Structure formats: C-alpha cells, structure tokens
Chains A and B, each alone.
Chain A
Amino acid sequence: MYVAVKGGERAIDNAHRWLEDERRGDRKVTDLSVDQIKTQLSLSIAKVMAEGSLFDPELASLAIKQARGDLIEAIFLIRAYRTTLPRFGVGQPINTDKMIAKRRISATFKDIPGGQLLGPTFDYTHRLLDFKLLADGSIDEFEPGKDTEQMFQHVTQFLNNEGIIETEETSSSEAESPDLTRQPLEIPANRALRLQALTRSDEGFLLGMAYSTQRGFGRNHPFVGELRIGLISVEFEIPEIGFNIEIAEIEISECETVNQFLGSKTHPPKFTRGYGFVFGQSERKAISMALVDRALRWKELGEVSDGAPAQDEEFVLYHGDNIQATGFVEHIKLPHYVDFQAELELIRKIRKTAFEAKKG
C-alpha cells in the first residue's frame, strides 16, 4: 500500500535511493559527465533553459543529468532554483540587429542582403540512422566561413522601409513589461506579458497550437520573414557608474513572421507580424511562438476572432506552462481516498433511492 498506515517515511527514503541507483544505471558504463551533456546535448539544454526561464547551460546540464533525461523534470529543477534567486534589476532591451548569427534565413525573398545562411541545421539532412555513431567514429572539425561573423539587418526592415508592414512598438518601462515570475498572471494580458508566457511555454503545446492555426483554427497566413539564431549580448545599466556593461552573451532563436494584411478602401493595407524569441537553438519553438503570438493579436489588430483555441488568450496562457500542467495532471496519483469515500457514500445513497423507487 503506498499510503501505508505507518512507514510512509521509510518508503519515501527507499524510493529516493532506488531512484538514484536507477539514474546511475549500469556501473560498468562510464558516468555521464555534465560537460558531455553541455557540449553534446545542446538542443536539450536549449529547451531546459527556455522553459526553465534561466540561461545557464551548466545548470541545465546538471538538471538533465539529475532528471535522467526527463526534460520537463529538468525544467522543474531549474524553475525551483531560479525562483530562489534575487531579482536585482531589469536589463537593457536586447537588440537582435546586433546578433552574430550562425543561421539566418528568410522564406519571403530569394536572396537578401548578407545572404541566406543555413548554419548547423537538420533541415536538409536525410533522416537515416547514422550507424557510424554506434561505433566511436571521429567527426571532422568544421570552421565556419567569414559570413558568420557579421551582423545582419532584419529582413522585415526592408518591408518596413516601404511602409508595407506594421511597425513594432517598443516598450521599455516596467509597467509595460511586467514580470510573469513576480506577479500573478492576470487576463487580459498585454503583448509583452503574452510573449513572456509564450517563450517559457511548453514547446509541444505551442507546436500544437501553431499547427492548429495552419489547419484553419484561427488561420493567419504566415510567411517566415526571417529566422535567425546566434549570439547576442545582454547589457545592464549600473546606476552607480551610469553606463551599460555587458553581463552575458547568450544564444537565442528569433522568428519574425509576415502575416496577412489588414486594411480597407480608405486605409491602405499593411502586413502584420508575429514574433518568436526563445533561448538557445530552438527554431521549432520560435516559429510556433510567432504563429501563436500572431493568432493572439486579433483584438488589437481589429480582427474578428474565429473563437479558435490559439486565439484564446486565457486558454493559451493558462495551459502552456508545462510545470503547472505536469504537476496538476500528475497530482491525481496522490491519495484521494477521502474524497472518493465521500463519492462512494453518495452514489450508494442515490442508487438505493433509485432501486427503492423502482420497487415501490
């Protein structure tokens, strides 16, 4: 019995020891090092950092090791750690124009100033198992060309020069960019808060939501204006010295979609935008996020909602957090026998009344 009348404490201790043993696995096999995870499972690291809302590859690797590769469990470890950290201020807005990109593509133009840069992508690989990796085949080192050391203007900027796409409004005040991790989520949320929630939402949830918009549940006709992945610096203004210093360099994925336009006979139509921004190399999620962001913007763009799930802010924002979701879904495995007992009594009573009525 898992709710032993006595001995719950010993059961828990033993469960933890067993768990540790299983995590380590066969002792004849070398222990997996955090460095190995950090350098060889970088896409897992990206997911854990993005959904854990903490950019720290080392801790993400540790969390993945501790969680036996269960990424939601790893994200949870990171979240629980992150929430104990003091928040000492707000960084300067990140300028992704200054990204040193290792990947940057546009689906809306054949060629773009600076060129299409594929970077380390799975896109054109053939998905054939590479049995060489079963043996310890060595891999040649790759030196990227000079193209990868430049900054690129955003592709949507070219459209903007023509006035053919809406201009993004920037906000820098804290009131306009509330902190989801320090204030309770209240609906309606502004776009800054929505984007914050989306970037830490579960990748699979966002993917499903984005996919649903493509299949007609809140269709928004997206083109990938630009997708870029690379390093950007994070700056923080120290009031005592009065200028910005660089406190970190982080890898991010950014996706800007160009979506169908608004307009009327009197107001010239313009393309609209969706935006995705995710820690690490996470382009599936960046694209999904941009689609969902655009779907959620129907009200501010004066559109009529289809009533589709992806357009429903309350639905998307309340259900995208995988740590909340996994906790609540899984908690039904905890003892509920007191409530079940109450249900038993009730159903017996109602059945008895029904039987008696039938007989009578």
Chain B
Amino acid sequence: MSNSEEDFNFAYLDEQTKRMIRRALIKAICIPGYQVPFASREMPMPYGWGTGGVQVTAACLQETDVLKVIDQGSDDTTNAVSIRKFFERVAGVKTTENTGKASVIQTRHRIPEQVLSEDQILVYQVPIPEPLRFLEPRETETRVMHALEEYGLMHVKLYEDISINGEISTAYAYPVKVNDRYIMDPSPTPKFDNPKMNFCSAIQLFGAGREQRIYAVPPYTKVISLDFEDYPFEASRAEKTCEICGATNTYLDEVVIDDKGTRMFSCSDSDYCNSQKS
C-alpha cells in the first residue's frame, strides 16, 4: 500500500463493490439469519483477520460515522488497533473507544457490555458462518438442510453433549435460532453474550470474507440460544469480580500475572471497565 490517502476510494472499496455488498446486506436483513453469498474481495489484510467484517463496515460507513473497533472486547488488542487505523487512513472517519458514542462498532469475539441503541450498527467478524459445518462439512448439504429447516442433527449433537458431559459442551459460537426460522452462528462470541442478541435495538451484521457469506439480525428480532426444557441455556462467566472496576456482571478475562500462575480477573470489555472505574 502506498502512503497517499488519495489513492483510495472512501473506505477503500470501490463504489461498485460497496453496492454489491449493500445488496447482500439488504437481502440478509430481509431474511434474518440466512447466509447470503457475496463476492468477497481480497482485502489488504489476511483472511481470518476480519476481512468479512471490514468489507461490511466499509459498505456501511459514511463520512459522519464514528467507528469503534474491538477484538476480544478490547479496543487495544493488536488487531483492533490495526483495523481502526485502516479505516482512519482510508475513510478518515472519527473513531472512538466509547461504546455509546460509536455509530458503527466492528467486533471480533465479543458483544459490548453496554446495551446498544437503535442508531448503532454492530458488525461481527465471522470465521465460519455455517453453524452446521462441524456436523456436516459439505456446503451443498448444509444449504439444503437450512432450506428444509432440517435441524435435527444439531439437536442430536446437543443431546449427545449432555449424555457424555452432563451439559452442552459448547462455550462459544453457541448456536442460536433467529426469528423462529434459521439456525445461525453468532460468530465465536462466548455464550455469555448470546442473550444480548435477543431483541437487540441495534442492527447486527455478520461478515465472513473467506467463506463469502453475509448474514444479519434486524433490530428487535427474536434470537434464542438452542437448549432443552430440562437443560436450559445458561450464559456462563467466571464467577469472580473484576479486580479493576469491581463489576460482578461482566465477562471476565483471566490473566496470569506471575510465574507461580497467580490469576487476576478483569473485564474483557475495556471501555465498560474504564467507565465503571471513574
């Protein structure tokens, strides 16, 4: 990449590509939870680093937007820094770490603790968009399974988990059912975050670049984590208190702080933690 910002169209992608992505986004919004194929482009960062999310963000951004980028809940993780810098450079938009002040939030692996509002868009980076992929490796098969709403395999998997381990042994990327129709992968967020998706006020957009898929959850849409009546879904977290801000209701990182293996727990959402401190 050269160093001159004039070399790039606003938000890097050319307008034709953005239009193609926006069409996919509109379709995705209209069919909540359905994976729309789109002609994903090579981005100047590798597949697996959030190319899907970056393309979705690029297609959504306007000059007045304020962008926040988090990875593992934090604004300061290396990849969040890198993506934020990318958009500062190619779109010149304002950026923020403050969840409440952002109009577009791109995330990898977390949903912010602060409740999102109607004028916000949450963009998820998705590695494997297909929730059935690890049960059926063929895309040709899984598309048919979705079309026929044939989700028995998933329920059998969850049942087998319980029979082997005593509970459903999926801790992240925990499958959800959207609008009583499609089973959807919420991206690899910890299952602690799943309830935040249900009837969320913000638009939730999901971009999987390498897999060339976009899907979405429109505002105020039912998103239910799969479970059984006698084994209800549980949003689990470390049963500890944040040692920085004292929060007892947030998702915590477990940090090893010395060679003896002493642990410290602190909020994964760095902005939320800062706001609680002050």
In the complex, what residues of B have CB within 8 A of residue A335's CB? 71-72, 77-79
The closest CB in chain B to the CB of A313 belongs to B140
Min CB–CB distance B153 → chain A (angstroms): 18
Pair A334/B48 contact, Cβ less than 8 Å: yes
**Using Cβ atoms and an 8 Å threshold, which residues of chain A touch B188?**
336, 339
Q: A12-B81, A83-B42 are in contact. Are A331 and B172 (CB under 8 A)?
A: no
Q: Which residues in A have their C-beta under 8 angstroms from that of B48?
A: 327-332, 334
Contact B76 A8 (CB under 8 A): yes
Which of B39, B47, B73, B85 lies in contact with A338, CB distance below 8 A?
A: B73
A331 with B190: CB separation less than 8 A:
no
Nearest neighbor of B128 in chain A, beta-carbon distance: A328
Q: When the two chains form their complex, are residues B77 and A327 in contact, meaning their CB atoms are under 8 A apart?
A: no
Which partner residue on chain B sits nearest A343 by CB separation?
B171
Q: Which residues of B contact A (CB under 8 A)?
A: 14, 16, 37-44, 46-49, 51, 71-74, 76-82, 85, 109-110, 127, 138-140, 165-167, 169, 171-173, 188-192, 210, 212-213, 236-238, 251-254, 268, 270
> Do B78 and A328 have beta carbons less than 8 Å apart?
no
Say yes or no for A82: interface residue by CB 8 A criterion: yes
Assess whether A337 is in contact with B76, with CB atoms less than 8 Å apart.
no
Residues of chain B contacted by A79 (CB below 8 angstroms): 42
B39 close to A331 (CB less than 8 A): no
Output the residue of B73, B139, B213 with the most chain A CB within 10 A. Answer: B139
A328-360 vs B: 1/0 string, CB under 8 Å? 111110111111011111100110011000000
CB distance from B244 to the nearest CB of A (A): 10
Which residues from chain A contact B37 at a C-beta distance below 8 Å?
184, 186
Whole-angstrom distance between the Cβ of A224 and the nearest chain B Cβ: 33
Give the chain B neighbours of A345 by CB distance below 8 A.
Answer: 171, 236-238
**Contact flags A1-20 to B (C-beta < 8 A → 1, else 0):** 01111111101100000000
Q: Is A185 an interface residue (CB 8 A)?
A: yes
| Contact across chains for B139 and A341 when beta carbons are under 8 A apart | no
The answer on a CB contact under 8 Å between B42 and A342 is no
Contact between chains at A323 and B167 (CB < 8 Å): no
Taken residue by residue from 92 to 127, chain A's Cβ proximity to chain B (1 for < 8 Å, 0 otherwise) reads as 000000000000000000000000000000000000
Q: Is the CB of B43 within 8 A of A184?
A: no
Q: How far is the CA of A82 from the CA of B172 in the complex (A)?
A: 36
Q: Is A326 positioned at the interface, with any CB of B under 8 Å from its CB?
A: yes
Instruction: Tell me which residues across on chain B come within 8 A of A3, comparing CB atoms.
Output: 72, 74, 76-78
Q: Is B78 a contact of A12 with CB atoms below 8 Å?
A: yes
Known: A76-B46, A184-B39. A328 touches B167 (CB 8 A): no
Q: Closest 3 CB pairs between A and B?
A: A331-B48, A327-B47, A342-B171
B194 CB → nearest A CB, Å:
11
B238 close to A341 (CB less than 8 A)? yes
Q: How many A-B residue pairs have CB under 8 A?
A: 147
A188 at the interface (CB under 8 A from B): yes
What separation, in Å, do the CA atoms of A328 and B46 have in the docked complex? 8
Q: Which of A151-207 contact B (CB under 8 A)?
A: 181-188
Q: How far is the CB of A271 from chain B (nearest CB, A)?
A: 30
The secondary structure that dominates the A interface is helix
Q: A314-B140, A328-B210 are in contact. Are A338 and B72 (CB under 8 A)?
A: yes
**A7 vs B74: C-alpha distance when bound (angstroms):** 12
Question: How extensive is the interface on chain A, given as a class?
Answer: 35 or more
- Nearest CB in chain A: distance from B96 CB, A: 15
Q: Does A331 contact B47, Cβ atoms closer than 8 Å?
A: yes
Could you say which of B47, B189, B212 contacts A323, with CB atoms under 8 Å apart?
Answer: B47
Question: A12 to B41, alpha carbons, bound, how many Å?
Answer: 25
Tell me the smallest distance from the CB of A65 to a CB of chain B, in Å: 15
Instruction: Give chain A nearest CB distance to B101 CB in angstroms.
Output: 20
Q: A8-B76, A314-B140, A324-B210 are in contact. Are A331 and B46 (CB under 8 A)?
A: yes
* Among B41, B47, B51, B253, residue most surrounded by chain A Cβ atoms (within 10 Å): B47
Looking at the complex, which one of A8, A323, A327, A344 makes contact with B49 (CB distance below 8 Å)?
A327
CA distance A81 to B81 in the complex (A): 23
Contact of A89 with B by CB under 8 A: no
A8, A9, A342: residue with the most chain B Cβ atoms closer than 10 Å: A342
Determine the chain A residues whose CB is within 8 A of the CB of B44 once the complex forms: 80
Q: A51–B192 Cα gap in the complex (Å)?
A: 42
Chain A residue nearest in CB terms to B12: A84
Q: Which residues of A contact B138 (CB under 8 A)?
A: 314
Shortest CB-to-CB span from A52 to chain B, Å, is: 10
CB contact under 8 A between A323 and B42, given known A334-B48, A341-B254: yes
CB distance from A211 to the nearest CB of B (A): 23
Enumerate chain B residues within 8 angstroms of A323, measured Cβ to Cβ.
42, 46-47
Residues of B within 8 A of A84 (CB): 14
Assembled-state Cα–Cα distance A11/B77 (Å): 11
What mask results when residues 61 to 89 of chain A are scored 1 for a CB within 8 Å of chain B, else 0?
Answer: 00000000000000010011011101000
Q: What are the interface flags for A303-338 relative to B under an 8 Å C-beta threshold, 1 for contact and 0 otherwise?
A: 000000000001000100001101111111011111
Contact in complex: B127, A331 (CB < 8 Å): yes
User: Contacts A12-B82, A350-B169 hold; do A341 and B252 have CB atoms under 8 A apart?
Assistant: yes
Which chain B residues lie closer than 8 Å to A187 at the CB level? 139-140
Q: Cβ of A76: which chain B residues have Cβ within 8 Å of it?
A: 42, 46
Taking a contact as CB atoms closer than 8 A, the residue among A6, A12, A80, A337 that contacts B42 in the complex is A80
Q: Which residues of B contact A82 (CB under 8 A)?
A: 42
Residue pair B81, A8 in contact (C-beta under 8 Å): yes
Do B39 and A183 have beta carbons less than 8 Å apart? Answer: yes
How far, in angstroms, from A119 to B203 measured CA to CA in the complex?
Answer: 61
Among B76, B79, B173, contact of A4 (Cβ-Cβ < 8 Å): B76
B89 smallest CB distance to A (angstroms): 13
Residue in A5, A9, A324 whose CB lies within 8 Å of B81? A9
What are 27 A-B contacts defined by CB distance under 8 Å? A2-B78, A4-B76, A11-B78, A76-B46, A82-B42, A83-B42, A84-B14, A184-B37, A186-B37, A187-B140, A318-B139, A323-B42, A323-B46, A323-B47, A334-B48, A334-B78, A335-B79, A336-B72, A336-B188, A338-B72, A338-B253, A346-B167, A346-B169, A346-B236, A350-B166, A353-B166, A353-B167
